[in-house]
Structure 1
């Protein structure tokens, strides 16, 4: 696997939730231009052009929360939803010249209640579990809020 010199404009969004639909939200670290108001699910770009979506989801969950998405009791599910949206201007410098759109693949990860979370302090400063509707209301990014609002339908499927 060859790591790209620029961020790849394909990313994963992983909604982590418990059987009773409590959703894990992470507060981004300061220094990204958005600060403490930016609550989100796990997100991250593919590390290489040939990295499978699911592998990126597992890697990002581990990096950001310390949760092993392949562990017994965890159930990662590709929701087969993709969002395409403009990259925030403050992050355009991370991408190749001329790249201004990102495609995001959405996953759900069911975990046991009281799953231990260990944050990566470079990325996040706090976490909280919220009922799914409240979690959607707290998300900064519209695609993240929309994904959480789909959660009950994907759990029932």
Structure 2
């Protein structure tokens, strides 16, 4: 299996009233997150985000209000996941996107990736998300969405 590219996307899926979809990781129960995923070779960041939303939730991002937040976070890859990357790769560049859907929608989880999902008010979602980049993105949601928090 080829190594993962250390460039990824984070897609915050939310409703007009700022409820946020979180997914529980199958490989780490209790770790909740927004949609994430690494770029495939030759794929743009937008293509990666659309693909990951479809794979992880069954939703078609292009049917809704999909936006690039033009934000990049660089973080150290957790030691337990470094084997997925080429030797010596320790950091990942994550690009943030948002997807506004009209209301909490039913999702189709990828069972190898996620165990459960929940729609939460943005403040609760920020408290539940495990990664600092995901927390920061959710906390920025009211500003990005142009709605009072």
**Fold match by TM threshold 0.5:** yes
Q: SS of 2:140's equivalent? A: helix
The alpha carbon displacement at 1:114 in A equals 3.2
The 5 A counterparts of 1:20-35 are 20-29=17-26, 32=27, 35=28
The reply on whether 1:70 has 2:62 as its aligned counterpart is yes
Query: What SS is found at the alignment partner of 1:113?
Result: coil
Query: Equivalent residue for 1:39?
Result: 32
**1:15 lines up with 2:12 in the alignment:** yes
Q: TM-score, normalised by structure 1?
A: 0.91
* Match of residue 96 from structure 2: 106
Structure 1: 5+ residue runs without aligned partners? none
Q: d(CA) in 2 for partners of 1:60 and 1:127?
A: 15
In structure 2, the residue matched to 1:57 is 49
5+ long unaligned stretches in structure 2: none
CA distance in 2, matches of 1:66, 1:26: 13
Instruction: Give me the whole-angstrom Cα distance separating, in 2, the residues matched to 1:93 and 1:46.
Output: 17
